Amino acid sequence: MFDYETMTPKQLVAELDKYIIGQDEAKRAVAVALRNRVRRGRLPEAMRDEVSPKNIIMVGSTGVGKTEIARRLTKLSGAPFIKVEATKFTEVGYVGRDVESMVRDLMNAAISLVKAEMEKNIQAEAEKRTYDRLLDLLLPGTKSHHKEQSEEDEPPRISLLSENEEAQESEEAVIARTRAKLLERIKSGQMDDHKVELSSKGGKGGSIMPGVEVFPVGLGGMGDGPDFSDMGQQISSQISAMFGGGKKKVVSVKRAYNILMQEEREQLIDQDAVIEIAKERVERRGIIFIDEIDKIISSGSNKQGGEVSREGVQRDILPIVEGSMVNTKYGMIDTTYILFIAAGAFSNSKPSDLIPELQGRFPIRVQLEEMSVAMFEQILIKPQNAITQQYIELLKTEDLFIEFDESAIKRIAEIAYEENRLQENIGARRLHNILERILETLSFEATDRGGEHILIDATYVDRELKTKEREANDLGKYVL
């Protein structure tokens, strides 16, 4: 995870360049927007409140990199980040997701982010406590010193030491050595399949009472009310706590370790601190990527039914982008300084077709380039996660070694460009479709062809694609 607060715009663009070909204008705009968040934080408080985020609209057809830029931002930003689709929302008064849910989702993402960071700091202590509890389950007669247990309830003590060893040492030393030997077995995995009896807990850090499920009623369009998204889980946890937890169950040591580890993490982490830090990060550094924003533009002057609802969604998004207080289960969230990045193909519309008030809240507009043959060639080989390299590594797991020469790369790029021109333009996604067709036979036969080395050139590409085209035509005779 990178921390964009220490990265310059040039460094941010350099990181994006490792995965995204071209689209320099979009990458620069995003890098500057992120850096401006850092600059704002360094201003005097009076001035800081006057500086609002410079929200961005990215315009470009499908498959040109809009979503990939958003995905990479998630890894680079180190800030709470979510991607939502504008088409998933409905206007207040209609059944469906209200637009305020995007802020609640962002807060949930921030909670997960902060908890993950805190878990790293308490990992060692959580592991120690977890192993102590596992030893208590496996050797109930040798409770660790921090556990309390009445003598009358104490089961017979189990020892891994010989009688001579026990006779020569005090009881405390015998217990310590027994637990130490068993701990070695647990850590080495020798005890993974051994069964232990575990009590499920209600409330904080535990599971809800078995057999009880509560399904909250959907309250679509109730954006101004409280957050009911986790009502079912909360009620179930309260019922479980009222009845003193759950029932005992027998699980493997490996499974018990995971359950107990999660409980100990929950116990060691200050939940109030998590919420406070997450809330501050959302309000100061949060980023929401709204995809397909062009799909909520009304198409024409005669607005009826769904057309009205689309414009209604825009009007519902407006106050959140402008800055408003949104109610979540963690408290009220101020959206004033959240950075919004919108994206859309705008094939049948343009950004100026959005309602004027919403347009004004996205002052930066970036036009992404259409994919060319040269860009396709670069996409196939240059990024760290290049799709040709992905296929090479996948087949290598079966000891089948393939190699793409320059003629194959050029031919695949040319075919992708031509198919996008003649059929629906799906941008770089066309490359995945073509490579699947080229490598389908090899992928199917890989387990039987281990040890082979295959060079994929332009001739191989043409032969495989013609074969697939012929098979598709033959199959078409039987399709009504």
Confidence band for 209, pLDDT divided at 50, 70 and 90: very low
The pLDDT tens digits of the residues spanning 85-131 come to 998 888 766 666 889 999 999 999 999 999 888 888 888 898 889 88
Q: What are the tens digits of pLDDT across the range 139-176?
A: 875 555 444 444 444 444 445 555 555 555 677 787 78
* Ordered domains of the chain (ranges, CATH): 4-118+276-367 (3.40.50.300), 121-274 (no CATH), 373-476 (1.10.8.60)
What percentage of the chain exceeds 90 in pLDDT? Answer: 26
- Residue 209's CB is within 10 A of a number of other CB atoms, namely 22
**pLDDT tens, residue by residue, 311-349:** 888 999 999 999 999 999 999 999 999 999 999 988 888
Quote the CA–CA distance of 261 and 127 in Å, as a whole number: 7
Whether the pLDDT of residue 233 is over 50: the answer is: yes
pTM: 0.73
